[in-house]
Amino acid sequence: MSLNDSWMQRDLSVLWHPCTQMKDHEQLPLIPIRRGEGVWLEDFDGKRYLDAVSSWWVNVFGHANPRINQRIKDQLDQLEHVMLAGFSHQPVVELSERLVKITPPGLDRVFYTDNGSTGIEVALKMSFHYWRNSDQPNKQRFVTLTNSYHGETVAAMSVGDVALFTDTYKPLLLDTLKVPSPDCFMRPDGMSWEDHSRNMFAHMEQTLAEHHAEIAAVIVEPLIQGAGGMRMYHPVYLSLLRDACDRYQVHLILDEIAVGFGRTGTMFACEQANVTPDFLCLSKALTGGYLPMAAVLTTDKVYQTFYADYSTLRAFLHSHTYTGNPLACAAALATLDIFEQDHVIEANKALAARMNKATAHLRDHPQVGEVRQTGMAVAIEMVQDKISKTSYPWQERRGLKVYQHALQRGALLRPLGSVVYFLPPYTITEEQIDFLAEVATEGIDIATRATVSVSVVPGAPSEFRDPG
Ligand SMILES: *Cc1c(COP(=O)(O)O)cnc(C)c1O
């Protein structure tokens, strides 16, 4: 038995994997990884895979990055962890100062949690609590966009709209207001992203006009709806949204958990619209893809409504045990150093241009509805019909065929439904980008040529963030 097989068997007899129908592994091998280096992951049989999706969008500077490794090792010898209530430490103070400095002006306070979903929970609870502390207790509801994704905990699911993840749990969810997304995939022929995004704002304006008295906040993923299939829209939507939130006295929560730290071409996506949200949620690439941590930044105005004598019961009494873990802070500090010292945002422009060039030919593919890009994210959407952009029935699992082909060829490309995408580490080379495009093209050819017979259940949810 190969080493891969033996680890797979031991794994499958005790583990339950995330976002997985475990029965799939009766056919689909699980890949045990022994080591990582740069953009490469290596399994126990010595086969290497180019990590085109940054291990679920977290890894920006490669696996086992020597600079991040060193910083964590140094921190480990000093202090591995201390509770953050009543105590503090050097890496958490330094990281907070730097986050305040590099995020848009006005975000002056940092609250930490240990993953993205709980960062969202914090932003939602703080917004709700702010209105309560401000004698406007009727402002309790949240506005979200269709096709959005904000995480897996119950309130985070409530503000999400990817049916596959939320439909089952509907009875548990908060009652939110859903507004049609500015996603440009379905824009009318010949219309620009900007015009379409601007037009779609009318729905948001109307919802805010009608319901603002009961709305605490609007929450959106700026520029890219990630788990919803890497759907993209124009920054003008964010400018219009900021302005409307001010007019209607509603908070703006920007979930930059996936898009923060350079993914869209700027350090933070909201810079492209020149807006400061009331809450900015960061995670994923925050620690360079090393350790779980999230940060919620907010304004002094929000902070001040909680700042009072203890007996007023205005405090935000929310905590996660590992809040502000020093090792995670050290990883984040090393990551920010690399951004600064290597002028990463500037250097990424050449890589983004190469990603564009390497995938351009796919625009003419008869089974590709769109090739879209925002900065360091490129998505190729496979469709059943190019003219009407009709998607393949999700049960056909076309993306899974791309995934399997890519693995054979030595690339980790994990499509979202029928959407093949690259979200590579920023340490990728131009040659490696060309290799990914080649593998994706072959995979798309194989996946779209295959005859698949499935029984389609009408009205079943669309499928995203799944291997296929
Ligand atoms: C991944 C993600 C989350 C959830 O983060 P977790 O760390 O997986 O809980 C929330 N919002 C967006 C936009 C994400 O991409």
In a 13 Å sphere around the CA of 140, the CA atoms on its Cβ side amount to 5
pLDDT at 356 over 80: yes
Nearest CA to ligand 1 atom 8: 116
Distance 247 CA to ligand 1 centre (A): 29
Of 54, 117, 145, 268, the residue with max ligand 1 atoms within 8 A of its CB, to mutate for a pocket test, comes to 117
Provide the pLDDT for residue 139. 98
SS3 200: helix
pLDDT tens-digit readout, 286-331: 999 999 999 999 999 999 999 999 999 999 999 999 999 999 999 9
d(CA 462, CA 290): 31
Q: In degrees, to the nearest 5, what angle opens at C-alpha 309 toward C-alphas 303 and 311?
A: 120
**Token pair of 97 as six digits:** 């100062």
Beta-carbon contacts of 226 under 8 Å, excluding residues fewer than 6 positions away, are: 57, 149, 258, 259
**Predicted confidence (pLDDT) at residue 435 exceeds the cutoff of 60:** yes
Mutation choice for ligand 1 from 19, 121, 150, CB with most ligand atoms inside 8 A: 150
Contact of 272 with 264, CB cutoff 8 Å: yes
- Which residues, judged by CB distance below 6 Å to any ligand atom, belong to the binding site of ligand 1? 115-117, 120, 149-152, 221, 226-227, 255, 257-258, 283
Residue whose CB lies within 8 A of the most ligand 1 atoms, among 256, 257, 374, 414, for a mutation test: 257
Q: Is the pLDDT of residue 468 over 70?
A: no
Q: Is pLDDT of 467 > 80? A: no
Residue 262: pLDDT above 50? yes
Q: Per-residue pLDDT tens for 141-170?
A: 999 999 999 999 999 999 999 887 788 899
Name the average pLDDT for the chain.
95
35-62 burial, b at 16+ Cβ within 10 Å, e below that, comes to ebebbbbebbeeebbbbbbbbbbbbbbb
Contact between 292 and 266 under an 8 Å Cβ cutoff? The reply is no
- The number of C-alpha atoms within 13 Å of 63 and in the hemisphere containing its C-beta is 18
Question: Rounded mean pLDDT of 101-116?
Answer: 98
pLDDT > 80? residue 459: no
| pLDDT of 63 higher than 90 | yes
Cα atoms in the 13 Å half-sphere on the side-chain side of 294: 25
> Quick check: 24 pLDDT over 70?
yes
Is residue 398 within 8 Å of 452, Cβ to Cβ? Answer: yes
pLDDT for 78 beyond 80:
yes
**Which of the four pLDDT bands, split at 50, 70 and 90, describes residue 451?**
confident
Expressed in angstroms and rounded, the spacing between residue 149 Cα and the centre of ligand 1 is: 7
Q: Rounded to a whole number, what is the distance in angstroms from the first to the last CA of the chain?
A: 28
- Rounded Cα–Cα distance for residues 60 and 53 (Å): 10
β-pair partners for 412: 51
d(CA 352, CA 59): 17
Q: Does pLDDT of 179 surpass 80?
A: yes
More confident residue, 429 or 463: 429
Rounded Cα distance, 129 and 116, in Å:
20
Span 131-143, average pLDDT: 97
pLDDT over threshold 60, residue 366: yes
pLDDT of residue 462: 47
State how far the alpha carbon of 416 is from the alpha carbons of 159, 235, 363, in Å.
20, 23, 18
For the whole model, what pTM was predicted?
Answer: 0.96
pLDDT at 401 over 90: yes
382 DSSP β-pair partners: 368
Res 198 pLDDT > 70? yes
Rounded to an integer, what distance in angstroms lies between the CA atom of residue 369 and that of residue 92? Answer: 45
Average pLDDT over residues 180-197: 97
Give pLDDT, residue 454.
Answer: 67
Mean pLDDT of 410-430: 97
Question: What pLDDT was estimated at residue 322?
Answer: 97
Q: Whose CA is nearest to atom 3 of ligand 1?
A: 151
The pLDDT, as a whole number, for residue 452 is 77
Provide, rounded to the nearest whole percent, the portion of the chain with pLDDT above 90: 94
- Ligand 1 nearest-atom number relative to CA 226: 15
Nearest residue (by CA) to ligand 1, atom 11, is: 150
* β-strand pairing of 40-43 with 294-299: unpaired
- Tell me what pLDDT residue 162 has: 81
Residue 460 has pLDDT above 50, yes or no: no
The SS3 assignment for 381 reads strand
How high is the pLDDT of residue 1? 86
